[in-house]
């Protein structure tokens, strides 16, 4: 025993091999001190020449002494079950764990705590919100809310919270009584709604990536599936180019670069009837906001080239730090100071219509990239914005009172 400390661990037989893989480690007994500890057993199972090896020759005498009721040091026996068979293993002197430290780690494991905190968590983990580590209900709620600063505190507001905070006061209610159209806001998607050919840039960027990497180019028939999907899903599931995650990320990043370059240098073409509809909304003092995943500078430049820059008072772009589709609409409602339940979203895809309804907005869908029967979930479906009137917008909210909040989302 001059090379280490002898430990006794339970075994199916005195001369059989023992392994604790996939199960809790055994309670080992220090042959010198007689202390029983599961932490010692765990250390014995992972030490060289431990539970997976053969019985040390000197362990025969130690086990005989142990079964007779004494320890190797002559102290009082710690073996509570004499009928159980034990085997002897050895730990090197530098590998003997501290009893207090191991017992503390053992208590943490019983409570289900992580031994190694996440990268963003503090070392002790006491001041870290659990939603920052795991996908909890709180983390999911944050993805469907907008983040604002209230003093020095960070507050996450859902659609119902915005409906309550942006509710008009007495003076605004009086003004809305005289001019009811001013109570409503309008949120436009730039790709496909304001710009008629922006979705073609998406297809062209994927075709250029395919030529660079030597893949099969996607045709126009795949555009509806590509239009509203994540780049990683497009590469792996729709185009089926590769299933290597590192290669998928590189392809997605390259496609985003090409799309940004094409977006900045492209001569955008306005959607039919967009200018007349925006003029009617401005005439009735109905605020308008446009959102796009591109940078604010590129979006404002494109609107200026289209001659529509003066109609949009606010812009939601990449600089706003939006992470989910629902946050686009909530951020737009916050910028134009209108409750989400008093806003109309203009979309051209089924996914956009569903997200707008999740944000408690009414939605007008434009037929084009998708046929009308795929946009049936929208509150109104039109071929062009020139078919709309301000009275049509008011009728979308005919079944909703001013102070009503949809109970389905409470």
The CATH number for 341's domain is 3.40.50.1000
Same domain, 257 and 353: no
Residue 409 confidence (pLDDT): 39
CB contact set of 219 (below 8 Å; sequence gap of 6+): none
DSSP string, 256-279: HHHHHHHHHH----BPTTHHHHHH
Q: How far apart are CA 209 and CA 187, in angstroms?
A: 32
What does pLDDT average to over the chain? 74
Point out the least confidently predicted range of 116-130, 236-250, 367-381: 116-130
Confidence class of residue 302 from pLDDT cuts 50, 70 and 90? very high
Same domain, 9 and 59: yes
CB contact set of 99 (below 8 Å; sequence gap of 6+): 35, 37, 39
Point out the least confidently predicted range of 131-135, 211-215, 220-224, 261-265: 131-135
Confidence class of residue 137 from pLDDT cuts 50, 70 and 90? low
Q: How far apart are CA 364 and CA 361, in angstroms?
A: 10
Residues 336, 315: contact at Cβ < 8 Å? no
Residue 341 confidence (pLDDT): 93
Same domain, 321 and 191: yes
Which one is predicted more confidently, 230 or 34?
A: 230
Residues, the chain = 410
Residues 49, 5: contact at Cβ < 8 Å? no
Strand residue runs (E) in 358-407: 362-366, 380-382
Which one is predicted more confidently, 49 or 6?
A: 6
254-284 burial code (b ≥16 CB/10 A, e <16)? bbeebbbebbeebebebbebbbebbebbeee
Each residue's pLDDT tens digit, 193-231: 999 988 889 999 999 999 999 999 999 888 888 888 889
Confidence class of residue 122 from pLDDT cuts 50, 70 and 90? very low
Which of 46-50, 82-86, 91-95, 167-171: highest mean pLDDT?
167-171
Residue 99 confidence (pLDDT): 47
Same domain, 180 and 275: yes
Confidence class of residue 36 from pLDDT cuts 50, 70 and 90? low
Same domain, 330 and 185: yes
pLDDT higher than threshold 90 for residue 234: yes
Is 162 a domain residue? no
Query: Mean of the pLDDT values across residues 368-391?
Result: 92
Residues 10, 84: contact at Cβ < 8 Å? yes
Same domain, 349 and 391: yes
Residue 67 belongs to domain spanning:
5-110
pTM, two decimals, is 0.65
Confidence class of residue 323 from pLDDT cuts 50, 70 and 90? confident
Residue 31 confidence (pLDDT): 47
Q: How far apart are CA 46 and CA 334, in angstroms?
A: 57
Same domain, 281 and 335: yes
Domain count, the chain: 4
Query: Mean of the pLDDT values across residues 178-184?
Result: 91
pLDDT higher than threshold 50 for residue 126: no
Which one is predicted more confidently, 123 or 31?
A: 31
Confidence class of residue 288 from pLDDT cuts 50, 70 and 90? very high
3-state secondary structure 171-210: HHHHHHHHCHHHHCEEEEEHHHHHECCHHHHHHHHHHHHH
Same domain, 181 and 209: no
State the helix-helix crossing angle for 99-110 and 38-46, rounded to 10 degrees: 100
Domain boundary among 262, 289, 314: 262
CB count within 10 Å of CB 211 equals 9
Residue 186 confidence (pLDDT): 96
Is 336 a domain residue? yes
Share of the chain above pLDDT 90, in %: 42
Same domain, 148 and 87: no
pLDDT higher than threshold 70 for residue 278: yes
Residues 312, 290: contact at Cβ < 8 Å? yes
């Amino acid at each position: 025993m001059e090379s280490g400390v002898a430990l006794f661990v339970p075994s199916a037989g005195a001369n059989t091999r023992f392994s604790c893989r996939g199960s809790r480690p055994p309670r080992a007994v220090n042959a010198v001190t007689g202390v029983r500890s599961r932490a010692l057993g765990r250390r014995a199972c992972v030490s060289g020449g431990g539970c997976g090896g053969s019985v040390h020759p000197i362990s025969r005498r130690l086990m005989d002494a142990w079964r007779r009721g004494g320890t190797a040091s002559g102290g009082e026996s710690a073996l509570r079950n004499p009928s159980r068979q034990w085997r002897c293993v050895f730990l090197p002197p530098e590998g003997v764990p501290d009893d207090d430290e191991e017992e503390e780690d053992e208590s943490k494991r019983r409570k289900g705590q992580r031994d190694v905190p996440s990268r963003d968590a503090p070392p002790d983990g006491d001041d870290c919100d659990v939603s920052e580590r795991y996908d909890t209900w709180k983390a999911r709620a944050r993805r469907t809310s907008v983040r604002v600063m209230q003093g020095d505190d960070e507050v996450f507001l859902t659609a119902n919270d915005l409906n309550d905070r942006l509710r008009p006061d007495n003076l605004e209610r009086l003004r809305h009584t005289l001019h009811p159209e001013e109570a409503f806001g309008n949120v436009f998607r730039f790709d496909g709604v304001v710009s008629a050919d922006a979705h073609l840039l998406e297809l062209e960027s994927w075709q250029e990536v395919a030529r660079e990497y030597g893949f099969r180019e996607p045709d126009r028939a795949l555009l509806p599936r590509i239009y509203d999907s994540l780049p990683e899903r497009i590469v792996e599931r729709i185009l089926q180019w590769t299933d290597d995650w590192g290669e998928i990320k590189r392809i997605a990043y390259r496609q985003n670069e090409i799309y940004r370059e094409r977006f900045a240098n492209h001569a955008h073409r306005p959607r039919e009837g967009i200018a007349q509809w925006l003029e009617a909304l401005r005439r009735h003092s109905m605020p308008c906001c446009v959102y796009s995943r591109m940078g604010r500078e590129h979006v404002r430049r494109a609107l200026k080239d289209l001659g529509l820059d003066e109609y949009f008072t606010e812009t939601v772009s990449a600089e706003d730090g939006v992470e989910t589709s629902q946050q686009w609409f909530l951020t737009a409602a916050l910028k134009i100071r209108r409750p989400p339940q008093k806003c109309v979203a203009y979309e051209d895809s089924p996914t956009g219509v569903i997200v707008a309804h999740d944000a408690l907005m009414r939605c007008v869908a434009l037929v084009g990239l998708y046929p009308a029967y795929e946009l049936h979930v929208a509150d109104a479906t039109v071929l062009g914005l020139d078919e709309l009137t301000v009275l049509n917008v008011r009728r979308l909210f005919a079944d909703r009172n001013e102070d009503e909040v949809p109970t389905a989302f409470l």
